[in-house]
Amino acid sequence: HNSVPGRDTVWSDNCDGEGTNWLGLQLMLVRDQLSGRRGWTNFLAELIDQDSGTPYDKHCQFVWQSAVRSASQALVHAVEEFAGSAQGGRGEVPPICRRSGCNRPTWNGRPGEYCSRTCRGAEGGGRAPVN
């Protein structure tokens, strides 16, 4: 998962499930190797040429992208569930970054803060100071 849309659409899910998530693909192959199972390996072998990394056709590309979207949505849901339980089960939305257009939670869970040094620096137009 990527925390910033547009930063990486190849190795990550692009924060919204629209990236190709090659890192996730490789991790599932390693997971199969370590567990001795072949579920992901077999699934991916039907969709993607393992020598070139290219989907066999548009349908295969669609199936893989659907899997990435589904995983991204599951991750976001799990994080939201965790955030709700961490706040006493109230299901409250945590404070979001103060930079316009960024909807990520603040780094420390406090309102009026940024989500990262990158956002803090972008808001000021320069590099973020390192504390």
CA distance 73 to 80: 11
Q: Rounded CA gap, 34 and 36, in Å? A: 6
What's the pLDDT at 44?
Answer: 96
Max mean pLDDT among 68-72, 88-92, 126-130 falls in 68-72
Q: How confident is the model at residue 128 (pLDDT cuts 50, 70, 90)?
A: very low
> What tokens were used for 42?
């077999």
Q: What are phi and psi of 96, to 5 degrees?
A: -105, 160
pLDDT at 41: 96
Give CA torsion, residues 114, 69, 19, 108, to 10 deg. Answer: 10
Specify the pLDDT at position 60: 97
Please choose, from the candidates 103, 100, 82, the residue with its C-alpha nearest in 3D space to the C-alpha of residue 91.
Answer: 82
The domain ranges of the chain are 1-88, 94-131
Span 71-91, pLDDT tens digits: 888 888 888 777 766 555 555
